[in-house]
Amino acid sequence: MKAHDGMYIGGEWRAAAGTDTIAVVDPADEQVIAHVPAGIAEDVDAAVFAAHEAFPAWAATPPAERASRIAALRDVLVARKDEIAETVTAELGAPLQFSQMVHAGVPILVAGSYAELAASYAFEEKVGNSTVYAEPVGVVGAITPWNYPLHQIVAKVAPALAAGCTVVLKPAEDTPLTAQLFAEAVYEAGIPAGVFNLVTGLGTVAGQALAAHPGVDLVSFTGSTAVGKQIGATAGAAVKRVALELGGKSANVILPSADLAKAVGVGIANVMGNSGQTCSAWTRMLVHTSQYDEAVTLAAEAAAKYGDRIGPLVNAKQHARVRGYIEKGVAEGARLVAGGPEAPRERGYFVSPTVFADVTPEMTIAQEEIFGPVVSIIRYEDEDEALRIANGTVYGLAGAVWAADDAEAVAFARRMDTGQVDINGGRFNPLAPFGGYKQSGVGRELGAHGLSEYLQTKSLQF
């Protein structure tokens, strides 16, 4: 695979300050496919400096002009979508069709939505005798994970640029090639030098240097709750803005009136897509006791059908971690009805689609984020119990509710402590705010809510 051996800083590929590199591995066959430079504090300094230099002119660029640059970026992503899909498949392992539809397709939608929002957003409003201006926060340090490598970059960079901010991105160690491709797209789109900068490297070195950098005005982080807590503490100590998109353990609540087969089928597909490596995946399926046995049979069949269509997990560490959780589920008394801890292939970090029945709400597999293709089916006796279970984790990122009519599902969803709920299989909306309640995070991404994260207000009184 093609890789750059430098950092994209100030509109050009510059030699890295250090000599260490990171190996990029194809998780489907465990082969090294490329190396990228491991950035150090000097690289981060140079990138933040470039972002600072570029900020005044970009912030002063009329929103319509910023919008047309973001539209040009969207057009480059469209032109290069096959290459994007192949790159994501090579370094993340997602099946090519999923990469085409989701990993390449969704960022195009999101970039397009910000091209429109940048042009139409009210950056100025009258409030009584005041004029309130929405101004860009400044230099953004963006730190992203590997599970939706391009989506998570675009969900930060597009609104930041729309707001008039400049950005330094530190992408995940496992998926830097997608980030390098994005930097090429930024260049091709004619976005001015220094407005977007890329430093590849380790989280504990380059990521930490970026989060703590005094020249960064806002840190936008997507990743694990453990790292998010550290970043939040660092940002808090510096009175710096921070947005955190963290983990999840979302509930798929199937009310007794629902179309059970559909709810179970969509629920299994929701988790198995991207091999379960989706923060908002509905990994806990809550089923009324009267339908429990039928739901377990349907879920086991749906998971078995996935079989070979599932991609590998991203790396050896995640592979060991997920298999460890499956063993823990067995040890704690849950009943395996599909899949299991054995590796289904000799090579590659594959895990079989796995379904557990007889899971109780306090079990480890029902409380902790597994980040693999594992669904836990939990029984409830009545709606109040279903709600207690649904709300009974430290997380609150997403969820689903199924019922005979939307109104019944909405009434339940309004009582859930979570940021997004799909009602009877509602479709993905790139304009809907995405983000967590409780330990799933702080702040929102996507749409106008995502744009406002990168703005601060100034009011002038007359």
Closest CA to 448 of 123, 129, 74: 123
Paired with 218 in beta bridges are 140, 241
**Chain center to CA of 449:** 16
Q: Which is nearer to ligand NAD, 27 or 164 (CB)?
A: 27
Question: Which of these segments, 91-99, 239-247, 292-300, 402-410, binds ligand NAD (CB under 6 A)?
Answer: 239-247
Distance from C-alpha of 459 to C-alpha of 348, rounded to nearest angstrom: 56
What is the Cα Rg of the chain in Å?
Answer: 22
Which is nearer to ligand NAD, 72 or 211 (by Cβ)? 211
Closest CB to ligand NAD: residue number? 203
- Phi then psi dihedrals of residue 35, to 5 deg: -130, 145
Stretch of 22-30, 245-253, 340-348, 448-456 lying at the interface with ligand NAD (CB under 6 A)? 245-253
315 touches ligand NAD by CB under 6 A: no
211 scored as a contact of ligand NAD (CB under 6 A): yes
Closest approach of Cβ 7 to ligand NAD, in Å? Answer: 15
**Minimum CB distance to ligand NAD, residue 197 (Å):** 15
For ligand NAD, the closer of residues 172 and 186 by Cβ is 172
Q: Name the phi and psi angles at 389, rounded to 5.
A: -70, -45
Interacting positions 261-290 with ligand NAD (CB under 6 A): 279
- C-alpha 58/C-alpha 351 separation (Å) is 46
CA–CA separation, 403 and 71 (whole Å): 40
Identify whether 279 is a catalytic site residue: yes
Catalytic residue among 165, 173, 279, 408: 279
The span from the CA of 260 to the CA of 439, in Å, is 30
By CB under 6 A, the count of residues binding ligand NAD is 31
Q: By CB under 6 A, tell whether 367 contacts ligand NAD.
A: no
- State which of residues 67, 227, 251, 326 lies at the interface with ligand NAD (CB under 6 A): 227
CA atoms within 13 A on the CB side of 18: 19
Catalytic residue among 91, 165, 173, 245: 245
Nearer to ligand NAD, 105 or 276 (CB): 276
The amino acid at residue 354 is: T
Cβ-count burial 233-245 (b if 16+ within 10 Å, e if not): ebbeebebbbbbb
Q: Which of 207, 267, 348, 443 binds ligand NAD (CB under 6 A)?
A: 207
Residues near 300 by beta carbon (within 8 Å), at least 6 away in sequence: 337, 338, 355
Smallest distance from the beta carbon of 99 to ligand NAD, in angstroms? 16
Nearer to ligand NAD, 222 or 424 (CB): 222
DSSP 206: I
Nearer residue to ligand NAD within complex by CB, 228 or 339: 228
Other beta carbons within 10 angstroms of residue 116's beta carbon come to: 15
Residue of 246, 272, 416, 455 interacting with ligand NAD (CB under 6 A): 246
Q: Which of 247, 312, 329, 340 binds ligand NAD (CB under 6 A)?
A: 247
User: Of 21, 68, 131, 224, which lies in the binding site for ligand NAD, with binding defined by CB under 6 A?
Assistant: 224
> Cβ of residue 405: shortest distance to ligand NAD, in angstroms?
30
Residue closer to ligand NAD by CB (options 418, 424) is 418
Which residue, 54 or 246, has its beta carbon nearer to ligand NAD? 246
CA-based torsion, 3, 44, 109, 163: positive or negative: negative
Q: CA angle 225-112-425, nearest 5°?
A: 60
Is-contact 69 166, C-beta < 8 A?
Answer: no
Binding window for ligand NAD (CB under 6 A); candidates: 108-116, 121-129, 244-252, 348-356? 244-252
123 and 133 in contact (C-beta within 8 Å)?
A: yes
Handedness of CA 411, 412, 415, 420 (dihedral sign): negative
Assess whether 245 carries a catalytic annotation: yes
**Sites of contact with ligand NAD (CB under 6 A):** 143-147, 170-173, 203-204, 207-208, 211, 222-224, 227, 230-231, 245-248, 279, 369, 371, 397, 436, 440-441
Q: Which residues are catalytic?
A: 245, 279
